[in-house]
């Protein structure tokens, strides 16, 4: 069997996306190995998740570093020492410097809880509600030097429902995040992602053209 793709998963909090990746690997549905989990918060629950599954982990508390580049230099050292081939940002709430990005060209991906390019940044579920969109969702994308601006690999759409709060919408989106992030990593592991400028082609995908409508059309 070919060597397993080595992942470095970066977290800042709960790590439920990390958990979905762990679960898919343990189920045999994703041919990859998590070589290292890094958190910039010592108390992140995701560290407990990693520990439960015997996954190596490192805490790099950003407060201990003089500036972003010093943090990123150490981050790079940790990931390279672990042999990481794909950097997976899973609720990692820090912006990476160009220095770090250059070390992993087209090998850093992120998940964002909105349908990019709408609602980049933070507190995006509340922003989607405030704007009054009928759909939101989540996006897995390559990381470039902008904030949530890199080429899009996969998106999932969820409806915004009457009575939604930021919390209920976030929970509906998170459920889909847990499906599309392992899927995107699987595409990567299988060498099926071709990037042409901003457009990402996934080899071997059948197109489907069903439209979604919310509220649904009258029959
Ligand atoms: C997820 O909703 C993820 O999309 C979001 O943080 C949450 C982390 O949850 N990431 C961002 O907003 C990045 N800009 P998790 O720690 O349970 O995976």
The tens digit of pLDDT for each residue in 78-130 reads 999 999 999 999 999 999 999 999 999 999 999 999 999 999 999 999 999 99
Last residue of a domain, one of 105, 137, 163: 105
Is-contact 88 21, C-beta < 8 A? yes
Domain-embedded: residue 216: no
**pLDDT, tens digit, 9 for 90 and up, residues 179-200:** 999 999 999 999 999 999 999 9
Are 28 and 70 contained in the same domain? yes
Residue 29's CB is within 10 A of a number of other CB atoms, namely 11
CA-CA distance, 202 to 200, in Å (whole number)? 7
Boundary of a domain, candidates 83, 105, 127:
105
**Ligand 1 atom 9: residue of nearest CA:** 91
CA of 1 to the centre of ligand 1 (A): 33
Where do we find the tokens 């969820």?
A: 158
The answer to which of 34-38, 57-61, 152-156, 212-216 has the lowest mean pLDDT is 212-216
Domain-terminating residue out of 105, 125, 147: 105
Q: Examine the domain organization and report whether 127 and 85 are in the same domain.
A: no
Say whether 208 is catalytic.
no
Within 8 A by CB and 6+ apart from 193, the residues are 153, 187, 200, 201, 202, 203
Do 12 and 83 share a domain, yes or no? yes
Residues 83 and 6 in one domain: yes
Q: Note whether residue 210 is domain-resident.
A: no
CA-nearest of 59, 40, 49 to 15 is 49
Q: Are residues 58 and 72 in the same domain?
A: yes
Residue 1's pLDDT band, with cuts at 50, 70 and 90, is low
- Both 156 and 114 in a single domain? yes
Residues 96 and 126 in one domain: no
pTM, 2 dp: 0.97
Q: Print the domain residue range for 189.
A: 110-202
How far does the centroid of ligand 1 lie from the alpha carbon of residue 91, in Å? 3
């Amino acid at each position: 069997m070919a060597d397993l793709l080595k992942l470095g998963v970066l977290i800042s909090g709960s790590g439920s996306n990390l958990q979905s990746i762990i679960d898919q690997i343990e189920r045999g549905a994703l041919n990859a190995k998590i070589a290292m989990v890094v958190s910039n918060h010592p108390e992140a629950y995701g560290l407990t998740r990693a520990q439960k599954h015997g996954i190596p982990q490192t805490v790099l508390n950003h407060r201990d570093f003089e500036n972003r580049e010093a943090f990123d230099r150490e981050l790079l050292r940790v990931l390279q020492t672990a042999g990481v081939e794909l950097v997976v940002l899973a609720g990692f709430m820090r912006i990476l410097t160009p220095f770090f990005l250059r070390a992993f060209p087209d090998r850093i991906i992120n998940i964002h809880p909105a349908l990019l390019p709408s609602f980049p940044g933070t507190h995006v579920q509340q922003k989607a509600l405030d704007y009054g969109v009928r759909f939101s969702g989540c996006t897995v994308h390559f990381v470039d030097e902008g904030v949530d601006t890199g080429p899009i690999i996969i998106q999932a759409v969820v409806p915004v429902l009457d009575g939604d709060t930021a919390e209920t919408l976030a929970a509906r989106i998170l459920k889909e995040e847990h499906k599309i992030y392992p899927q995107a990593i699987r595409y990567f592991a299988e060498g099926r992602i071709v990037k042409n400028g901003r457009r990402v082609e996934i080899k071997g995908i059948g197109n489907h053209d069903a439209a979604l409508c919310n509220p649904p059309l009258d029959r």
